[in-house]
Structure 1
C-alpha cells in the first residue's frame, strides 16, 4: 500500500504509477520520495511487468521537491555537508532507479513538470505530453545549481547542449509546443487523450519480446555515449546474437508475413 502513489495495472504487462498529491501539484515530500524508491525497486524485479507509465494526478505532473513541507528529513543549510550530500543522493537515486528499470518507461506529462519532476521525466525512455504541460528547471531560481538529479547528463543528450544551456541557466518556463519542437517529447496530445495514449504505447511495448525490449533500451543508453561506430556495433551485434536464439524470437519469426 502506498500513501502518495496510485499503482494500477491498466493492461497486461503494464504498470501505471501515478504521483498522487494533486493539491500540491504532486510535489515530492519525504513519504513520496521513499514510496517512489520502493515502488521502482519492486517493479524492477517483477517479471510480469514489461512497460511502465509514469504520470501525475490532477493538473500537474510533478512540481519538484516540496521545499516547504518536505518532512523531517529536510535539512537546513547549516547541517553538516555530509548529511546534505546524503539527502541529495537520495533524491538523485530516484532518477537512477527509474533509468535503470529493465522495462520501458513512458512519462505521460499532464501539466507542470518542474525541477525533480523534470528530472524524472528525462529518465523515462519515451515522453509524451499534454498540450497543457509546461517544463522548467527550478533549482537555479532558488540560488542553486541548475544541474541536479541527472539534468546536465540527460537534457543535453535529448535537446542538445545549446537548448539545455538556455533552459538550465535561465530557469524559464518552457511550453509544451517548444518542448515538442525541441524534441523533448515525442508526441503532444490533448489533455483528455494523454493517459489513454500513454497506455496504448505501453501496451504495444509490453506485447513485444521482453528481452528484445530490454536489450534495445540498454543499447540506446550505452551507445549514445559510445566512443565510435565500432563499439556501438559490437554491442548491437552481441544483442542480436543473444535475442536471436530465444524461443520467443523463434515463435515470432514463424508468424512473420
Structure 2
C-alpha cells in the first residue's frame, strides 16, 4: 500500500538500531551514549544519558564497557562525560512505566550496584571520576567509587536518597564515610541538602576542582590526566591502592555492605505502602507529593 491507501500508516515502521563500537575508527562520526578512547596510558570511558538517569539497560551496557576498558593497557582510567549531568542514579521514569515498578526498581538498583562494585574492585590502575555537571543519589556514589573525583566548579552534588524515602545503596555505607567520616556522612544523608563543588572539596567529597567553562572541561581533564599518568609516584599509588582494598575486604567484605544496603532497599521497594512509591510517582509526574513525604532525621530509613 502507499500514501493515501488503507493501511498505509496504521502501524509504526521501525528502523533497526545499529550499535556503535566503543572505539570509533578514524574518520567515523556517529552518535553513541557510551564511548571509549585511549590516549597513550590513559583510557577515557565517557557516557551521556539524558537527565543523568541510568536504567537497568544503561547500567549493564556501561558495565560491559567498563570491562572492555579494563582489557586495555592503561595506568589511568577516567570515567565521566561533559554534558549537564554525571549521573543521578536509577531511572525513576523507566521504573514508573514498568509493569512491575517494584521489580524494576530492584533490577535497576542491582545493575547499578554491579557497576559501582566493578569500579571499586579495579585495583590495577588509578581511576578518576570526572564530573562535568551535577550528580545525585547513586550517581554521587558511582563517582565516589573512583580513587579521585574531579569536579567542574559550578556543579552541585546531592549525596543522599532521602527525597525518595530510601536508605540508598551503591556501597554508600563504605565509600561515603571513608571519604568524609561517619559523622559527616550521616549529616549529608539525613539533612538532604545540595552540596556545592567548593563545599564538596572542603569536606573531602571531591579531590580536585576544575575551574573551567563547560566546553573546556573535557580537554582540561585530558591535560590533568596526562599529568597524573606521567607522575613517577603513580606505580606506588596503584600498589598502595590494591593493598588498601585488600585490607578493607578483610575487615568487612564489599558483599556485606551490599547485602545490608539491599535488605533495607528491598523492604522499601516491595512494600506497597512505603513512601517511595508515591514519592516516585509524584516526581515523575511533577505532582505534589500529597500524603507521601520524605523521611525526617531520626526516623528509620
Q: TM-score range by the shorter chain?
A: 0.7 to 0.9
Q: CA deviation at 1:225?
A: 7.8
Please say if residues 29 and 71 of structure 1, whose CA atoms lie closer than 8 Å, have aligned partners that are also in contact: no
Matched residue, 1:166: 187
Match of 1:90 in 2: 111
TM-score by length of 1: 0.74
Q: Which residue does 1:25 correspond to in 2? A: 51
Most deviating of 213-222 and 36-45:
213-222
Matched residue SS, 1:15:
strand
Q: CA deviation at 1:160?
A: 0.9
Deviation at residue 117 of structure 1 after TM alignment: 1.2
Is residue 230 of structure 2 the alignment partner of residue 185 of structure 1? no
Per-residue CA deviations over 1:205-226 (Å, capped at 9, x if unaligned) read 4345886453122123345688
The 8 Å contact of residues 76 and 126 in structure 2, kept in 1 or not, is answered as yes
Quick check: 1:56–1:62 contact (8 Å CA) kept in 2?
no
Using the TM superposition, give the Cα deviation of residue 71 of structure 1 relative to its aligned residue in structure 2, in angstroms: 9.6
- In structure 2, distance between residues paired with 1:14 and 1:135: 26
Residue 37 of structure 1 is matched in structure 2 by 63
- Against the structure 1 CA distance between its residues 71 and 142, is the aligned structure 2 distance closer, same or farther, given a 3 Å change threshold? closer
- Measured at CA, do residues 152 and 35 of structure 1 come closer, stay the same or move farther in structure 2, by a change above 3 Å? same
Runs (5+) with no aligned partner, structure 1? 228-257
Distance 2:149 2:240 in 1: 17
Q: Residue 90 of structure 2 contacts residue 108 of structure 2 at CA under 8 Å; is this kept in 1?
A: no
Establish whether residue 16 from structure 1 lines up as the match of residue 44 from structure 2. yes
Deviation at 1:62, TM superposition (A): 1.4
Alpha-carbon deviations, 1:141-161, whole Å to 9, x = none?
A: 11111x310111110110111
- Residue 197 of structure 2: aligned partner: 176
CA contact (8 A) 2:75 2:229 kept: yes
Provide the TM-score with structure 2 as the length reference: 0.64
Distance 1:88 1:31, change over 3 A: closer
Aligned length: 218
Structure 2 counterpart SS, 1:69: helix
Larger Rg: 2
SS at match of 1:132: coil
CA deviation after TM superposition for structure 1 residue 170, in Å = 2.4
Distance in structure 2 (CA, Å) of the matches to 1:140 and 1:191: 31
